Amino acid sequence: MEVDPGNRGQCAQPCRMPYALLKNNKIINKGHLLSTRDLCGLEYIPQLIKAGVHCLKIEGRMKSPEYVATVTRIYRKYIDLAMSNKHFEISTQDKKDLMQVFNRGAFSDGHLNIKPNKHLVYKDKPGNLGLFLGNVKHINKNKGYLTLKLQEQINIGDTILLEKEQNTYTISELMENGKNIITAKIGQIVTIGRMKGNINLGDSVYKMSSKYLNTLAKQSYQKENRKIKLNCEITIQKNSPISIYITSADVCSCYKYLDVIVSLDYLPEEAKNKPLTKEIVISQISKTSSTPYIFDKIKVNLDNNTFLPKLSILNELRRLGLDKVKEYALTKIHRTYKHKLRLPIVSKNISHKQNPNISILFNELNTNLDYSSLEKPNHIYIPLKYFTNATYESILNFLTSHYKTYIYMPTIINQNYITLFSNYIIKSIKNYNIFGFIVSNISNFKLLRDILKKDFSKYEIIANYTLNVYNLYTVEALKNLGANLYTISPELDAQNISYLGNTTFLPSSLIVYGKIPLMNMRYCLLGESNKSYSTCNRYV
């Protein structure tokens, strides 16, 4: 079996390109086979919080601001609900709003559920599907009218997509029984005007965006929704520098003990015509719109008949004062860990003159290849699946007897394969001279400990690049799990690769040649689920 790429020109993202699934050069399935439905985890929020999750990442890359605003608003609502004592129930409208801003063939719960997920991939279309609005019941192509019975509410200003068209249309004309209307509800039979293109009876129509929902989203991010309340006291007295004293009026812990004083080396003058008033001072100091702060109470100590030649002096006083407030808050913000992480003292390698070790990963073994011609590699990595196939017995006997050979563990191991994989490993270390294991997943550490038991420490454990080692914290965590060597993430830049490669508390390796898999999938393209069947003899 193999996956054959379709038209690569349609999309720069491989997961969104069309593919054909071939068996013996015959197509058995085709479409956007790697295009997953959007993940929606609203129902799992209580379980995620209970499991110890402290932060949820919302995918906003290449999405509109309206999408980000809507998703964060709804997830914030249900996170708060889950952390309260109230009944956790998700409204149909909130779920529909999420689907409206973006959905690819409805939603999926990904791999959050252990049950087989036959709805992970939506192969028919890679982009936003919107909400199904209805089917075309009547067409007047001369006037550009199409009539349908609504499955969703629509309004003037919403956008729709026709089944055989690529571009969306903004609804500018909406009618019921020949009369113009601005909104229509589910179940109404309406006519949408000024439609052109390839339209036929029975075609599906989709609501791609909601003017109301977009307006609501824009309002949420075009203005400040959260201001930190402060109190201040302004002193403007003759023959003394003007000053501002700021304290907190907010319950936020970052500002609890706020106590800031700022002064300017400027002495107020005697007023000749128009003296400064408290109202003017308060008006200038209150102008905090471009900051995350707002003054709740402002006290002004002002001498009579005092004059400031420029009101910008008050603006400068306010700006310096709020800068000090921000600096104070930043000193109070820090992460708290239950277990303090202390990294070993890191030293630089003194010499780089020694020849590096060379390791080779054989993604495929070839029975027609003479492996005795290998030029003395230091390590050989072989995928576990070859140790279970008698066809490769002679090759494995040669390689394991001449080179330090490691079993390359799969990136994904499903639960119902644990027993089978355990038997494979036990059989492999019994029949061949195995030096260690390449661990591709954190769970592999526990799996190997359970299988090898007291013999775990006899084998060298190498952390694969799939563990995404970016910094020393990850290195230390892998060392504590039992790793003897780790692979630096190939996504790092030269500076960080050099830094990690020159530390000495755990040896490192680096991929210098070869093809890296584009993606790893738990989802089976043949069984169309995330469940592996131990009796299945097919694989992609």
The whole-number average pLDDT for the span 155-169 is: 90
204-247 pLDDT, tens digit per residue, is: 999 999 999 999 999 888 876 678 999 999 999 988 999 999 99
84-95 pLDDT, tens digit per residue, is: 989 999 999 999
Is residue 151 included in any domain, yes or no?
yes
pLDDT higher than threshold 90 for residue 182: yes
Is residue 432 included in any domain, yes or no?
yes
**pLDDT of res. 522:** 75
Is residue 354 included in any domain, yes or no?
no
* Bigger pLDDT: 288 vs 343: 288
pLDDT higher than threshold 70 for residue 348: no
398-419 pLDDT, tens digit per residue, is: 999 999 999 999 888 877 778 8
The whole-number average pLDDT for the span 441-450 is: 92
pLDDT higher than threshold 50 for residue 164: yes
Whether 429 and 457 map to the same domain: the answer is yes
* Bigger pLDDT: 6 vs 394: 394
Residue 400, amino acid: T
Residues 248, 296: Cα–Cα separation, whole Å: 9
**pLDDT of res. 83:** 92
Closest CA to 304 of 264, 276, 266, 273: 276
Whether 377 and 493 map to the same domain: the answer is yes
pLDDT above 90 coverage of the chain, percent: 53
Whether 233 and 304 map to the same domain: the answer is yes
**pLDDT of res. 2:** 33
The tokens describing 44, both together, are 């799992």
Contact 487, 465 (CB under 8 A): yes
* DSSP, residue by residue, 49-64: HHTT--------TT--
Exposure string (b/e) for 215-232, b if CB count within 10 Å is 16 or more? eebeebeeeeeeebebbb
The whole-number average pLDDT for the span 183-197 is: 92
**pLDDT averaged over the chain?**
86
Is residue 345 included in any domain, yes or no?
no
Residues 311, 287: Cα–Cα separation, whole Å: 12
Whether 239 and 180 map to the same domain: the answer is no
Is residue 81 included in any domain, yes or no?
yes
Whether 42 and 26 map to the same domain: the answer is no
**pLDDT of res. 1:** 27
The whole-number average pLDDT for the span 521-529 is: 74
Whether 463 and 365 map to the same domain: the answer is yes
Last residue of a domain, one of 221, 248, 280: 221
Whether 83 and 210 map to the same domain: the answer is no
pLDDT band at 310 (very low <50, low <70, confident <90, very high): confident
Q: Where do we find the tokens 């965590």?
A: 477
**pLDDT of res. 539:** 43
Is residue 115 included in any domain, yes or no?
no
Number of domains, the chain? 5
pLDDT higher than threshold 60 for residue 105: yes
pLDDT higher than threshold 50 for residue 338: yes
Whether 383 and 488 map to the same domain: the answer is yes
Cβ partners under 8 Å of residue 100, min gap 6: 130, 131, 207, 209, 210, 213
Last residue of a domain, one of 221, 242, 273: 221
Strands 131-140 and 145-149, how do they pair? Answer: antiparallel
pLDDT higher than threshold 50 for residue 483: yes
Is residue 530 included in any domain, yes or no?
no
* Bigger pLDDT: 385 vs 196: 385
pLDDT higher than threshold 90 for residue 499: no
Whether 199 and 318 map to the same domain: the answer is no
> Which alpha helices (H) appear in 379-441, and where do they start and end?
393-402, 418-431
Element (H, E) at 39: strand 38-39
pLDDT higher than threshold 60 for residue 197: yes
* DSSP, residue by residue, 217-282: HHHHHSS----EEEEEEEEE-TTS-EEEEEEE-S--GGGTT-EEEEEES---EE-SSS---HHHHH
Last residue of a domain, one of 332, 350, 372: 332
**pLDDT of res. 7:** 33
Does the pTM exceed 0.85?
no
pLDDT higher than threshold 90 for residue 11: no
Supply the range of the domain harboring residue 7.
2-31
Exposure string (b/e) for 237-274, b if CB count within 10 Å is 16 or more? eeeeebbbbbebbbeeebbeebebebeeebebeeeeee
Please report, for residues 294, 315, 406, the alpha-carbon distance to residue 358 in angstroms, rounded to integers and kept in the order given.
62, 65, 13
pLDDT higher than threshold 70 for residue 278: yes
**pLDDT of res. 3:** 33
Any idea what the CATH number is for the domain that residue 188 is in?
2.40.30.10
The whole-number average pLDDT for the span 182-199 is: 91
pLDDT band at 516 (very low <50, low <70, confident <90, very high): confident
State residue 249 phi and psi, 5-degree precision: -125, 15
Residues 499, 151: Cα–Cα separation, whole Å: 58
Is residue 437 included in any domain, yes or no?
yes
Q: What is the DSSP letter of 37?
A: P
pLDDT higher than threshold 50 for residue 80: yes
Q: What is the DSSP letter of 432?
A: S
Whether 216 and 89 map to the same domain: the answer is no
**pLDDT of res. 351:** 47
The whole-number average pLDDT for the span 270-291 is: 91
Residues 489, 385: Cα–Cα separation, whole Å: 25
Whether 54 and 18 map to the same domain: the answer is no
pLDDT higher than threshold 90 for residue 328: yes
The whole-number average pLDDT for the span 437-462 is: 93
Whether 491 and 463 map to the same domain: the answer is yes
